Amino acid sequence: MAHEDDALERASYKPSPGLAVAVNDPVRNPELPPHRARMTDKDPAAMTRAVRAVYSLFYLSVAASIWAVAAYMIFPIESGRIVDIRNNNLFIGLGIGLALLAIGIGAIHWSKAIMSDKEWIEPRHATRGRDETRAGAVEVFAVANEESGFGRRTMIRNSLIAALAASVIPGITLFRGLAPQNSPENPNAGDPVYLLSHTMWEEGMRLAHDPEGTPIRAADVTLGSAVHVIPAPLAELSHHDGYLEEKAKAIVLLMRLLPEDLIEAEDRKDWSYDGIVAYSKVCTHVGCPVALYEQQTHHLLCPCHQSQFDVTNGAAVIFGPAARPLPQLPITVDDEGYLVARSDFEEPVGPSFWERH
């Protein structure tokens, strides 16, 4: 009972007016050393040097961005030469990295050496302040602008704006490399529809194991297997002859199912042979290699974004972001029992974001 009486007494206690009540400070004094004035605050010449250093860093960023764009032009990767590709990646990367680094260092030096280092304490207030409070906020922004020197120091302001504007130019320039380029020999080669509508596959061309190029007999394809396939002539090409480019479009995945498990449209019943079907290995979402085959469910999985395709039903999309089925390669066998293509793909391979007719 004594404890309860004490608790009630403490709860009901109210200090007399004017009586000071000592409250322990919950935040311990860190006992930091006293603030020291910066050299730029004491020496106008030091401030001038700091300003000059900041806008010089920003202009260095501009120069680095321009260099990145120039490197893209000086070392074109369209040549296919390894040295050009290496130099292209190296110098573009260095240019972009230096441009961003210079902006970062310049901004830090600006904040530490030039901006005012006065301490600010902002009292808490309701979400929607009074008109006087909002007017005070506008004044605070004006004071911050004055202390940062952004509006007053035109060299810093202009150089920062130029650096930020120039920093995005290399990225925009790199998008140019995503578009196919025309060539004098084939003026239609730059058309995405043309580029992805035609591959190396031709009528009578044998299907071969990737990468050795050994032709495949139909009798050697076992039930439930999945074979990575390239056109047989592709193995004879060198990298300088466009081996990687042609392989990226023509790569195929070959599977054998029970013929009765296949659901085939009337106009595609002759595209398979004895339960053997061939589909483009290039995912129709963004072009990743579809290489995972689940033989129990007959599903193909793209590991990049988990699109799934039903092999029994024309590689139709059953899950994921892919927008259309995998293109099917019509196949048959030749007189020696080797699997051959009946024709090229009858629709563009690869991502669906390319324009398609």
Q: Which of 175-179, 205-209, 277-281 has the lowest mean pLDDT?
A: 175-179
Helix (H) or strand (E) holding 276: strand 276-280
> What's the mean per-residue pLDDT of the chain?
80
**pLDDT tens, residue by residue, 190-204:** 444 556 678 899 999
Q: What is the pTM of this model?
A: 0.53
Distance CA(228)–CA(207), nearest Å, equals 10
Please, what sign has the CA dihedral across residues 195, 198, 200, 206?
A: positive
Average pLDDT over residues 310-334: 94
Q: Give the whole-angstrom CA distance, residue 269 versus residue 106.
A: 67
Phi, psi of 67 (to 5 degrees): -65, -40
Sign, Cα dihedral of 256, 259, 260, 265: positive
Arithmetic mean of pLDDT, 322-337: 94
Partners of 308 in the β-ladder: 301, 319
Give the DSSP per-residue string, 178-219. Answer: GS----SS-TTTT-HHHHHH--S--TTPBEEETTT--B-BGG
Residues 6+ apart with CB under 8 A from 330: 268, 270, 271, 341, 342, 343, 346
